[in-house]
């Protein structure tokens, strides 16, 4: 990657607006600036109980769809409870991420350096190299469907994707648990929009995804003084993202109604759900792809602790067509292949040569 990180410290989102494939009028700094930014202390992000969907019968499913749809239409974020995944599962996963990054040598991590495969840049991203537009204080590792032994391939080699340490089986368990939430979420969104709730069932069965393991190391005084943040302000490119609540503060959500940032601290064991660009595109801007970022902790006494997060981005396969859902009037967008949409958007982060056309 050709890194131009110094530009990133003071960059604004609109500096890169030519890459966006959906309408984004909001203007914000990629990194938190406590002197320029203002914060929304009042906005409460809706909590949606998935037990309504799973055990509430038709009335429960309808109520859940209403809660979830209105939360996503309003701010693009919701907090999911009642999803059936025990908090210990996420505690173990977070501990395993810490082990992965802290016990695998840099030399070994670099053997898995990220490369585009289909739409998604998959593999290891060193610190300050998550994108070319901002020197984020995070290391990441992206695993897509092919990185897991999901018994779909006759030939599978764990070491092609993972260092030794029992990582694949633990994270396979996480993605399989999350896969069970994909159709309930999508069916509820479609139902809220008065679209056939099963329209995406086939497309989202065994679909493409990216599980990103994020390790934000402890912040040194020198790094603090550079002005870099932990993760630049961005919108996810996907349909939606399933993000288990983190232990360490920092996630901020942009409220485009008032231009203020919401500090989101979701309860332990809950899942944060947010919509991405694919969703904004197919819903004709009804459900916005919402801006978010990760700041350094306001409490400097926890600068010495690493921060872990494990977002799972849900995509459709590269050859699917993203088109405005039937019944939504006055379409703002032409149909486009997922690979063209995805890579043209994310070439913002990886360089112009990342973009490809239809395959
Ligand atoms: Fe994100």
Pairing of strands 240-244, 77-81: unpaired
Angle 167-192/87-103 helices, nearest 10 degrees? 130
Residue 286 and residue 250 in contact, taking contact as beta carbons nearer than 8 Å: no
Tell how far the Cα of 236 is from the centroid of ligand 1, in angstroms: 5
Tell how far the Cα of 155 is from the centroid of ligand 1, in angstroms: 32
Tell how far the Cα of 293 is from the centroid of ligand 1, in angstroms: 7
Tell how far the Cα of 292 is from the centroid of ligand 1, in angstroms: 6
Let me know if 97 is exposed, middle or buried by CB neighbors in 10 A (0-12, 13-18, 19+): buried
Number of neighbours of residue 116 by Cβ within 10 angstroms: 15
Tell how far the Cα of 78 is from the centroid of ligand 1, in angstroms: 14
Q: What percent of the chain has pLDDT over 70?
A: 97
Pairing of strands 47-49, 77-81: parallel
With 0.75 as the threshold, say if the pTM is over it: yes
3-state helix vs strand vs coil in the chain, percent to 5: 35, 20, 45
CB half-sphere exposure, 260, CA atoms < 13 A: 10
pLDDT of residue 134: 86
Tell how far the Cα of 314 is from the centroid of ligand 1, in angstroms: 12
Residue 120 and residue 315 in contact, taking contact as beta carbons nearer than 8 Å: yes
Tell how far the Cα of 240 is from the centroid of ligand 1, in angstroms: 10
CB half-sphere exposure, 358, CA atoms < 13 A: 7
Tell how far the Cα of 55 is from the centroid of ligand 1, in angstroms: 30
Tell how far the Cα of 279 is from the centroid of ligand 1, in angstroms: 14
Position 5 confidence tier, pLDDT thresholds 50, 70, 90: low
The residues with which 142 forms a beta bridge, in sequence order, are: 123, 212
Q: Residues 65-113: pLDDT tens digits?
A: 999 999 999 999 999 999 999 999 999 999 999 999 999 999 999 999 9
Q: Residues 38-63: pLDDT tens digits?
A: 999 999 999 999 999 999 999 999 99
Report the candidate in 246, 242, 268, 270 with the shortest Cα–Cα distance to residue 186: 242
Q: What percent of the chain has pLDDT over 90?
A: 84
Pairing of strands 240-244, 139-144: unpaired
pLDDT of residue 4: 57
Tell how far the Cα of 315 is from the centroid of ligand 1, in angstroms: 13
Phi, then psi, of 354 in degrees rounded to 5: -75, -25
């Amino acid at each position: 990657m050709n890194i131009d990180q110094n530009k990133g410290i003071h960059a604004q989102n609109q500096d890169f607006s030519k890459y966006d494939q959906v309408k984004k009028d909001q203007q914000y700094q990629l990194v938190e600036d406590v002197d320029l930014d203002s914060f929304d202390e009042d906005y409460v992000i809706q909590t949606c109980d998935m037990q309504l969907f799973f055990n509430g019968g038709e009335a429960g499913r309808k109520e859940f769809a209403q809660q979830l749809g209105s939360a996503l239409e309003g701010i693009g974020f919701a907090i999911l409870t009642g999803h059936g995944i025990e908090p210990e599962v996420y505690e173990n996963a977070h501990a395993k991420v810490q082990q992965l990054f802290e016990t695998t040598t840099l030399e070994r991590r670099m053997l898995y350096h990220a490369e585009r495969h289909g739409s998604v840049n998959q593999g290891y991203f060193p610190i300050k190299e998550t994108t070319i537009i901002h020197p984020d204080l995070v290391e990441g590792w992206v695993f897509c469907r092919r990185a897991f032994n999901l018994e779909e391939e006759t030939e599978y080699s764990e070491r092609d994707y993972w260092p030794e340490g029992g990582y694949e089986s633990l994270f396979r368990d996480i993605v399989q648990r999350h896969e069970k939430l994909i159709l309930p979420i999508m069916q509820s969104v479609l139902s809220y929009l008065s679209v056939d709730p099963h329209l995406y069932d086939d497309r989202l069965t065994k679909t493409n995804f990216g599980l990103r393991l994020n390790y934000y190391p402890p912040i040194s005084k020198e790094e603090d003084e550079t002005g870099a943040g932990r993760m630049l302000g961005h919108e996810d490119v996907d349909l939606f993202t399933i993000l288990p609540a983190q232990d360490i503060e920092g996630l901020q959500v942009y409220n485009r109604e008032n231009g203020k940032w919401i500090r989101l601290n979701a309860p332990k064991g809950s899942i944060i759900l947010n919509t991405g660009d694919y969703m904004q595109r197919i819903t004709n801007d009804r459900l916005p792809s919402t801006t978010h970022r990760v700041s350094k902790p306001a409490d400097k006494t926890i600068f010495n602790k690493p921060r872990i997060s494990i977002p799972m981005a849900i995509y459709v396969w590269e050859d699917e067509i993203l088109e405005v859902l039937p019944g939504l009037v006055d379409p703002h967008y032409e149909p486009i292949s997922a690979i063209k949409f995805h890579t043209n958007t994310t070439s913002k982060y990886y360089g112009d040569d990342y973009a490809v056309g239809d395959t």
